Structure 1
């Protein structure tokens, strides 16, 4: 099998009724690289929906011209889209192939017959994308061909699309038993006997385990073949040792050419237990997870793998070992990264079923809502879309569970029940009282039980090896209506206080924190209960959309900013989730006011003339705080999960040291910050081990269309080399390359992403460039020396 990306594409924003025709003149259209998100290229506007980030949608067309070449005589040719947001309609050489409403589902078309009618060597692909309903989601989803597109060339005897299922039946340090089930297709006019030869090669050691099978495939038909083998001394995949293998399958028919297929797999077993929580390969693990949406600032939802790698490595450093894909299937590269880095994944199919949720378009919880979105397509498409998610992703060892929905049972949104006079969700404080009380005219929540049972059956028919889960918003009610009965692992969103009683009520159900707040108390619920498999924080990274009101155009719930920089909460979480030495200082004004860390902002400011409260995020040893060399006593804040002290600000530095076995193993310092004197710029590079793992997994971090991607982390420094106290507008000029975007992480900054300048936030910026050989990036900030970065490959 050979797969070829289609380059270049041309794009037109607006509707062109005749653009489906092969002979349509598209020479005036703009050349773009796919994946491509056109929404994020536009200007923010308060006339657009707050829920989807105040960015416009509309209708757009893409056209690609590919030479026929070997395609003309190929036995089987397939056109594969990994995701188009949304309402895609596709033509090849003017023939309408079909469409897909979902913006998340992978889909494909057989081009073989169409190519036989081609009048010339030019294969023309036309794609119409319609994202006119801007209030279709509660978060930003982009617009366009936001994921990769490929043309696959196959022999007449081939593997069916997604035709391989690799399963680990058992595994320990001495031996693993694995099963490979495949579906073979024969497009030829005669039956064939096929030898199926497997090679399982460790990407760590290079060791090879070979095994084979045989099958008869009827003419114009299909046949399944199953191989089971024992692998001695297996190199197992886990979060701490993510060993991967390459499964190569060679099909050798008794007539016609052979065909070779490869797939990256992992040998591992995972289990959820109602008393012991989660385990991998028989070893207990606590899931320390984060939820992730799929956008990344100036890239929208067309995110280069290297950008994800930088973000995921930073989350791993914090102690995260798991990701929940919120609230839809993501791009294939993200799953491959989780395989390579050792991150457990909960894959999620839907945020709503047959009835729409409230979509906030003029600020969060500001009435009236709108009700656009996937619900209108769910009755017709849910089975195909759910099956598409499992088909596309079941080969990933990182995936540990399939989620059939997020907060489908959110109270009164739209389902209701007379069992509760008032139904209150996790963010309903500002809702009118009438929106929280039982209304018999709303859909009855018992309907959800029927749909959940149907979806669970679809999942188990596709993949019986992983559990079915759901993220429940109102388990107080859902546990009474049967909604959770057919769920293998029950996920709780912000309902940690129910764990103990519910574990006693249904002791055979494994429990999981599928969406959780950042507080210390929420984490302690996991620490103190072995039967809770772990928690997934909302969220790992800030994201566009779900905004509270103009000009804020995103959610600041993340531990990383949109620019990929760690927030103070990242350091606090690291002190809880790792055994590594952690030392991080922040301050806030002392005195009256809410004590909660989450209610009062903190900063790294250290100025004179006031009394401050010092918060010490410390782990991995004994914390020691000094000011001007004088020891400062610390008190443990059991609510916040950190050490604290109140002191008068002085000019001398404030120093936090972590001492282990008599040695200082971590240190942080605060001193008065000076005015900006220079702009430092560092090119981020993936650690060698991470880059090697990604390459071994077949993930091209610098492949098309993001070849030559450079990520530059910028920081304002004062004359002493410390963080500067002021902000500056920074302009970027690229020669020998292309500026892809600038991100500061400021969710209230509505500077268009197409702009070549942006203001720093807390003295920092991230600059993204596609660099050719010899490329030079010039960074200019008012009143500072020019910074030059040479970054060509």
Structure 2
């Protein structure tokens, strides 16, 4: 198979009803590069929907011109156009012929161009795509607008593997240093007579380069399809896990004869050998070794980049989360871009893949602030009856070869009380996110849909899932298990996920002793983590969230959620360090401060923490210590400050008056200092520090071996430094001036900053921001702020 990326498109943000035509003049349209998100290019609008980040939608057209000469010979070939995702309501034409559409913006889809190429009048193949995203209250978070994922042309021989038609399953890892592997293919043929095909396999370890070969034979009927499955024992396998993510490249070569001529067609995919299991008594394991899932939930956007996020940006984020101690990701609440799954394979992150946030009935969509009535009811629910099976199957088929994927989630909080399903079993139902909700919206209303309907739908979705991939468990993220556990819903699942219901773990484990449980969505508190470590039967937790995201905003001017451990700019928050002290085996020592207030505890929202240490401030200061050593020492000017363990919140504290000397923390193990942190008084900015983020060599090597491209974007971390080299206490507006490249965006992580993302300047937040550049060779970037010398980056010289 040959693949041709279709990246350059003409774009118009307008509903040009004639743009489908091959002869339509698009010479005045703007040239964009796909993946592309037009919503994030527009300004924040207080009249747009708070739920989707106060960013507009609209109707847009894309047109691409592809030279058939560049595709080379296509006669006798099978040609498809493949879209990884278009948000949303895509309609596609090629050379003026309407191929069809796809409502969902999260699902890959493709069309057969083989017949149409016979009618091509010239060398110019014109692809036109209409995208409609006018219902901007269609989700509870930001999803962007446009061709937000990659597009490619796939040129196959007449005998081929069906798109996403390969399944790789590790059936067992034996004690005799071998693994039983099952490989299945769906094959198709355009030939007008039956054809005998030999299927050759080369399984090559990306770690050791060791090769294992095996083959099979079959006959495909004329213009028909056949399936083939074969089992093989792989000797001395390199097993994939979160701590040793060994991968293999499976090359499948189809060999057949057309007359006297031997024909071949080769396909490659990267996969892994591993077994995973959820157990009702002992939790989760990989390759028979117990693991606790230390997970985070992720949405898809990256602030200024929208949802058209370059792979290297996700690499920076995932490496930070991995360094924190995370080993798992939940794709909330929809299938994500293909590159993210590949990164999880390469880095060693378990994945729970999630299909739906709503089924046949829409959830409340808050468009004028959180829980501000009345809600709107736009979204995927209107497409669910017609499209749910095709969308679910497409998600599973596209991702089932990834060793990182450990479970399929068929829904998130579809059982949320009175949203809209209800039951007479409860006179009143209150969900975990119902602050300020009117009392009338919490009581039982018989006119609402009956919650028992969810069990019927879950049975259908679970059946589809198991038919498509019987090797992974089916799960569901329950919002109100107090009710769902009484309606038969749990009987349809292999693993039950609880969202924010840790207090039910023990009682429900007794009620359902044969059911594996996990925390599918959890708060950041120490008690929630202890609910995992104190109960072996809980497989782990998934924090809401790993990274801040656009949308689900509580009200203007805030346009996103600050629930993450990383900011929208990908910088670590203070809570990242606290979590690392719980999750990581690496030494941790971190200091934070705030004005002393009785009973503040871990309420970092009402009593925010920072890194201030200013002798001019006369108020008592609470020092928070996040560390994992056996022995801690906090000192200032040679005086040791007594530390008090806060067992409720999982850290140490000290209260002291301000001092001129730096505050020093040492974390020791076996008498040796394993980690150290220091706080000193900060002053105003004296210079701009600009550094290109560079991934560790081992991460680059892993991605390169797996064929994951990391080029195409520079990530420049900008920091305001004071005269002593610390992060400055003041913030400045920084302008990015680029020569030799394209400015993709500037992000500071400030969720209340509604400066349009299309502008080249932005104020720093806590002294930092990040600049994204697409280089065109050697690129020079100047970061300019009033009163400071420019920060300068020259890259690629």
Scaled by the length of structure 2, the TM-score of the pair is: 0.98
The corresponding residue for 1:686 is: 695
Q: What is the alpha-carbon distance in structure 2 between the residues aligned to residue 308 and residue 76 of structure 1?
A: 34
1:639-662 CA-to-partner distances (Å, cap 9, x unmatched) read: 111001111111111111111222
| 147-156 or 581-590: bigger deviation | 581-590
Q: What is the alpha-carbon distance in structure 1 between the residues aligned to residue 227 and residue 680 of structure 2?
A: 68
The corresponding residue for 1:56 is: 56
CA shift at 1:429, angstroms?
A: 2.0
Q: Is the 8 A contact 2:74 2:155 kept in 1?
A: no
The corresponding residue for 2:118 is: 116
- What stretches of structure 1 move > 4 A for 4+ residues in a row? none
Q: Does 1:348 align with 2:357?
A: no
Q: Does 1:499 align with 2:508?
A: no
CA shift at 1:135, angstroms?
A: 0.5
Q: What is the alpha-carbon distance in structure 2 between the residues aligned to residue 757 and residue 211 of structure 1?
A: 57
Q: Is the 8 A contact 2:11 2:32 kept in 1?
A: yes
Q: Is the 8 A contact 1:597 1:640 kept in 2?
A: no
* Aligned partner of 1:470 among 470, 476, 493: 476
The corresponding residue for 1:663 is: 672
Trace 1:224-623 onto structure 2 (pairs within 5 A). 224-255=227-258, 257-598=263-604, 599-608=606-615, 609-623=618-632
Q: Is the 8 A contact 1:354 1:376 kept in 2?
A: yes
Q: What is the alpha-carbon distance in structure 2 between the residues aligned to residue 596 and residue 72 of structure 1?
A: 63
Trace 1:69-148 onto structure 2 (pairs within 5 A). 69=69, 70=72, 72-148=74-150
Q: Is the 8 A contact 1:637 1:643 kept in 2?
A: yes
Q: Is the 8 A contact 2:63 2:129 kept in 1?
A: yes
Trace 1:214-233 onto structure 2 (pairs within 5 A). 214-233=217-236
| 715-724 or 317-326: bigger deviation | 715-724
Q: What is the alpha-carbon distance in structure 1 between the residues aligned to residue 228 and residue 418 of structure 2?
A: 49
1:667-713 CA-to-partner distances (Å, cap 9, x unmatched) read: 111111111101111110111110111111111111xxxx2x11011
The corresponding residue for 1:723 is: 727
Q: What is the alpha-carbon distance in structure 2 between the residues aligned to residue 170 and residue 628 of structure 1?
A: 60
Q: Is the 8 A contact 1:7 1:66 kept in 2?
A: no
1:281-311 CA-to-partner distances (Å, cap 9, x unmatched) read: 0000000000000000111001000000000
Local SS of the residue matching 1:501: helix
Q: What is the alpha-carbon distance in structure 1 between the residues aligned to residue 565 and residue 66 of structure 2?
A: 43
* Aligned partner of 2:197 among 174, 194, 209: 194
Q: What is the alpha-carbon distance in structure 1 between the residues aligned to residue 84 and residue 24 of structure 2?
A: 26
Q: What is the alpha-carbon distance in structure 2 between the residues aligned to residue 597 and residue 430 of structure 1?
A: 19
| 346-355 or 223-232: bigger deviation | 223-232
Q: Which runs of 5+ in 2 are unaligned?
A: none
Q: Does 1:632 align with 2:641?
A: yes
Root mean square deviation of aligned Cα: 1.0
Scaled by the length of structure 1, the TM-score of the pair is: 0.98
Q: Which runs of 5+ in 1 are unaligned?
A: none
1:549-595 CA-to-partner distances (Å, cap 9, x unmatched) read: 00000000000000000000000000000121111111111133533
Local SS of the residue matching 1:459: helix
The corresponding residue for 1:31 is: 31
Local SS of the residue matching 1:625: strand
Q: What is the alpha-carbon distance in structure 1 between the residues aligned to residue 27 and residue 174 of structure 2?
A: 59
Q: What is the alpha-carbon distance in structure 2 between the residues aligned to residue 72 and residue 165 of structure 1?
A: 28
| Change in CA separation of 1:78 and 1:591 when aligned onto 2, cut-off 3 Å | closer
1:66-102 CA-to-partner distances (Å, cap 9, x unmatched) read: 0112254242000000000000000000000000000
Q: What is the alpha-carbon distance in structure 2 between the residues aligned to residue 770 and residue 592 of structure 1?
A: 49
Q: What is the alpha-carbon distance in structure 2 between the residues aligned to residue 326 and residue 264 of structure 1?
A: 24
CA shift at 1:144, angstroms?
A: 0.1
Q: What is the alpha-carbon distance in structure 1 between the residues aligned to residue 740 and residue 710 of structure 2?
A: 20
Local SS of the residue matching 2:53: coil
Q: What is the alpha-carbon distance in structure 2 between the residues aligned to residue 780 and residue 107 of structure 1?
A: 44
1:292-346 CA-to-partner distances (Å, cap 9, x unmatched) read: 0000011100100000000000000000000000000000000000000000000
Q: What is the alpha-carbon distance in structure 1 between the residues aligned to residue 243 and residue 249 of structure 2?
A: 19
Local SS of the residue matching 1:485: helix
1:209-234 CA-to-partner distances (Å, cap 9, x unmatched) read: 01111111111111111121111110
Q: Does 1:645 align with 2:647?
A: no
Local SS of the residue matching 1:645: strand
Q: What is the alpha-carbon distance in structure 1 between the residues aligned to residue 638 and residue 774 of structure 2?
A: 48
Q: Does 1:778 align with 2:778?
A: no
